[in-house]
Structure 1
Amino acid sequence: MNTLNALSLNNTRRAENLIIVFNRVPKVGSQTFMELLRRLAERNNFEFHRDSVQRIETIRLKPSHQQELAETISALPVPSAYTKHVCFTNFTKFNLPRPIYVNLVRDPVERIISWFYYIRAPWYYVERKQAFPDLPLPDSRWLRKDFQECVLKGDPECTYTQGATHEGIGDHRRQTLFFCGHEDECTPFNSESALERAKYAVETQYSVVGILEDMDTTLTVFEKYIPQFFAGASEIYHNEIQKFNKINKNSFKSPVSEEVKNLLRQNFSREIEFYNFCKQRLHTQFLAANLMDLN
């Protein structure tokens, strides 16, 4: 990333299978991006696939389940796009062709605030109850929690202990986990090892990692680096999706002060470093693509 070389930044040309894998991080605009992929599938003649809604989301898989996932995706007709909340899975480890990996990231502190209120939104539980009628409803006191108060009171839900681990989709704190992979060393929160593994995966395996806060640059880079799938992405996003559809927009979020955000940033230092790394790479790709021919 020290040179504006579009070819060296273009992992798409290293793909061995015309299948997009969007192993989506929660609360980074992934629902909107999935809707964009659906519409692009019609425009650009590829198939769109997503995993089924699950009662318990498992994102870190055993090797046998990693292989099963990789085989399922590899068997899709080409060209296709597939999306699932899951850690980066190395297809070549199972002697399967390398797909085109993409993802999005978001400011880590804004993302955890968004998640806190997202899982308390009324429509979230309506959707969950419709899918799984026997799910119990949460305690009303839990639903009424305020994020800022939760942080300042040292509530365990809003305490982000360095090196702590949690399993499942509930461990919403770490974007790096989705890039680091399934190994145990990827699980400790805000760890140096998980950070470096995640950076390496982005540099060597991902065609594009977009930034939620900069969708114009993000969509331009997608169009430049993966044109077969993303031609027309900016037009569809601005004219059809952003203009008319606020997917998963939560009007129940309470404001959080900069003082509290700064407290959180101290614990999210490596997650923030990873976010800034992805942002730098995206902007470098943007500049390189405008200076050189990618073909």
Structure 2
Amino acid sequence: MKNFNSSALHSHSQSTNHIRERNSRKYSLLSVLPLRFSLRGYGVCMATLFLFCFGSLFYQLNGGPPKILLDIRQYLGLCGKNHWSVKVAPSRLFIHKDRVARHLVSCLHDCKRRKGGSTYLDDHGQPAPRVLPFPSQVIYNRVGKCGSRTVVILLRLLAEKHQFNLVSSDIHNKTRLTKHEQVDLMKNISSIPQPFLYTRHVHFLNFTRFKIEQPVYINIIRDPINRFLSNYFFRRFGDWRGEQNHLIRTPGMKDDERYLDINVCILENYPECSNPRVFYIIPYFCGQHPQCREPGVWALERAKQNVLENYLLVGILEELEDVLLLLERLLPHYFTGVLNIYKSPDYRKMGNMTGTVRKQTPTLEALQVLYHHMRYEYEFYNFVRDQFHLTKKKIGLKSVSKPPAYSNDFLRQLALRTPEPLDEDEELETDLEDANSWLVHP
């Protein structure tokens, strides 16, 4: 019994020591782990869990992740590829993203076919497109010597202020294009990231003819005789930025041509001062058709129709401040604040550098002959002016423009004493295709 009890006690002691040793090892292991939770830590964990559950519920109820995450996913690209495209135009480098959304769909379906799994678009559809202000595609096919440089300076300041894409072409002497050139230009214009405003000296382009979405057009014209005189002296003597610019612009012009009296040019019927050279404004609105370059009723009526159907606004330079006010009303995402910029002292310093120098007024006899050649130009100008005034009346715009220094009343009286223009069937000179060619004595 003694031995038995001794053995039992020894066994019990061993068992107790074994349990104590095992527990000590367990607690020493647990002491290494950071499991000391406070009440604050418990609250943070529960709040995180609650936010996760709430976010998951919000995700499902709203059909997917926030739009910003989709935009980031879209522009980063999928499948490890960069899907930006670059096109080089003759005068401008265009970087555009119009194919990113289209490629997003195709790339996702490719990944689905390779992996055999579903995609986000299968469950939720295509991401909603970015909402752009309307219109988001604007073309200003500016007419030469109608204040276009003044407006372009304003547009550069506005583009920086309102974050729209301004593309101003460096091509100034190619207004008429072949069919292939038209298509290329229209495709390049349509590829500019929206919203954009494209400006170039070019005759009206009919996008719908080639199944391309038609942008909105704007433009400004001025009194035809004033425009002609401004162009005549600008080609010879430049503007206030420096009279030496004319030597670069017309290096082949001889001194006897450069200093030719404007009255002699008009009265002796020099090509630069006669039909069809003075038929200049209407083709910008008529279009690229060859008949648009021939002075006549057909080109006039087609130009009027395009103004009514494709132009948001055609203003007149004599009422420029009203034009800017209307543009601010009609295109606020482009022109908000334009009049404040135009009236600012800093802008006045830049704008005053674009005035033509050495400008002279022809005699009454020369003006009569010039008006005789510009009958269709004045009919179009009066039509545009009436439409512009009608738009001001509809919007309720109170005019802030000063009366023009050159009154049109004189021209209305002059028209009564002016003989009818040349018959439309009379042969016109065909070697005067380029409106900016050098002066040639007849």
TM-score range (shorter-chain normalised) is 0.7 to 0.9
1:51 Cα deviation after fit:
1.1
**Structural mapping, 1:1-295, within 5 Å:** 18-53=136-171, 57-122=173-238, 123=242, 126=245, 129=248, 136-160=251-275, 164=276, 171=277, 173-189=279-295, 191-239=296-344, 240-242=346-348, 245-290=351-396
1:119 Cα deviation after fit:
0.6
What is the CA–CA distance in structure 2 between the aligned matches of 1:17 and 1:217, rounded to whole Å? Answer: 21
What does residue 39 of structure 2 align with? none
> Structure 1 unaligned runs (5+)?
1-14, 165-170
What is the CA–CA distance in structure 1 between the aligned matches of 2:246 and 2:360, rounded to whole Å? Answer: 22
What does residue 4 of structure 1 align with? none
For residues 151-181 of structure 1, the C-alpha deviation after alignment (integer angstroms, 9 at most, x for no partner) is 1233332223xxx4xxxxxx56320000000
The AA in structure 2 aligned to 1:25 is V
CA gap of 1:107–1:256, structure 2 versus 1, over 3 A, is same
Q: Structure 1 stretches (4+) deviating beyond 6 angstroms?
A: none
1:18 Cα deviation after fit:
0.9
Report the TM-score, using the length of structure 1 for normalisation: 0.82
Report the TM-score, using the length of structure 2 for normalisation: 0.55
What is the CA–CA distance in structure 2 between the aligned matches of 1:230 and 1:200, rounded to whole Å? Answer: 26
Tell whether the 8 Å contact from 1:221 to 1:282 is kept in structure 2 after alignment: no
1:257 Cα deviation after fit:
2.9
For residues 67-102 of structure 1, the C-alpha deviation after alignment (integer angstroms, 9 at most, x for no partner) is 111111110011111111101001122222221211
> Structure 2 unaligned runs (5+)?
1-132, 398-442
Q: Paired residues, what number?
A: 261
Tell whether the 8 Å contact from 2:141 to 2:202 is kept in structure 1 after alignment: yes
Q: Percent identity?
A: 32
Structure 2 SS opposite 1:213: helix
1:258 Cα deviation after fit:
3.8
Between 18-27 and 234-243, the greater mean CA deviation after superposition: 234-243
What is the CA–CA distance in structure 2 between the aligned matches of 1:288 and 1:16, rounded to whole Å? Answer: 20
Query: Which is richer in helix?
Result: 2
Tell whether the 8 Å contact from 1:115 to 1:172 is kept in structure 2 after alignment: no
1:64 Cα deviation after fit:
1.3
1:255 Cα deviation after fit:
2.5
RMSD, aligned CA:
2.2
The AA in structure 1 aligned to 2:343 is H
Bigger relative contact order, structure 1 or 2, given CA contacts below 8 A and separation 6+?
A: 1
CA gap of 1:148–1:137, structure 2 versus 1, over 3 A, is same
What is the CA–CA distance in structure 2 between the aligned matches of 1:233 and 1:99, rounded to whole Å? Answer: 22
For residues 206-227 of structure 1, the C-alpha deviation after alignment (integer angstroms, 9 at most, x for no partner) is 0111111111221121111111
